Amino acid sequence: MKLNFDNKNVLVFGGSKGIGFGVVKALAELGATVYYASRTEKFYKHANVHFVKTDVQDHKQITAVFDQFENKTLDVLVNCTGINFAKQHSEITMQEWQQVIDVNLSSYFLTCKLALEKMIPNRKGKIVNVSSIAGKHRSVISGCHYVASKAGILGLTRQLAYETAKHNINVNAVCPSQTKTEMLTGTMDAEQILALEKNIPLGRIAEVEEQVGPILFLCSELSNYITGTCLDVNGGQI
């Protein structure tokens, strides 16, 4: 068996950077028609890739994205949106707290809700939510607002999986550890990254492609009997 997304319509939120962009490219190359919603467009040309300008802090804009699927099925939703401010609890303002929760968690709820409205009548569909190793444990660099939002994604994923299993829909999450993305380099300097790598059993930071692979698996029919799980992709960290 191999991955095949021919004739699949996929929607990716947060698809212009990092892991999200890696997912968009890989799905398109595997035959999917991919719509990615983001504030900025990535200069990537592929006949099967379509950009939808979206600010996930605006609920009306999120809702409008789903107009793309008015006359077509939505087979897969991938949520990769995320922001982070590396601050201690004493430094976080209520505005910053709310912004992180809105982007990292509330938007996931709304996108899942709207996607399920499309998927349930067809009795099929897959949702993959990108959480974080921080959502299962804690973080040495991120603030409590980020950790709380990522933990919330796991609860949201498990409950939606329970509620939608009867409709033959799979809802899962992945928990990536630190990965070579713009978010990582924006929160850690080279010395901090080297120190972090010493505590990773595999001895290095993940490449984007190493996070994309597990997401593709959960998007595919190879994972039909998996729902409500969180797949750790963390180089052996506990």
- Sort residue 207 into left (φ over 0), alpha (ψ -120 to 50) or beta: beta
**DSSP structure class, residue 14:** T
Of 35, 36, 108, 146, the catalytic one is 146
| Residue-level length of the chain | 238
Q: Which of 8, 51, 5 is nearest to 29 (CA)?
A: 5
Classify burial at 183, counting beta carbons within 10 Å of its beta carbon; exposed 0-12, middle 13-18, buried 19 or more: middle
Contact 173, 154 (CB under 8 A): yes
Residue 99 vs residues 39, 76, 83, 107, 168: alpha-carbon distances, Å: 15, 26, 9, 11, 33
Sheet of 33-38: strands edge to edge?
49-53, 33-38, 9-13, 76-79, 125-130, 169-176, 230-233
CB atoms within 10 A of CB 16: 19
**Phi and psi at residue 234, to the nearest 5°:** -135, 15
Q: Sign of the CA dihedral 10, 16, 21, 26?
A: positive
Whether 146 is catalytic is yes
Rounded Cα gap, residues 172 and 231, in angstroms:
8
The residues assigned a catalytic role are 146
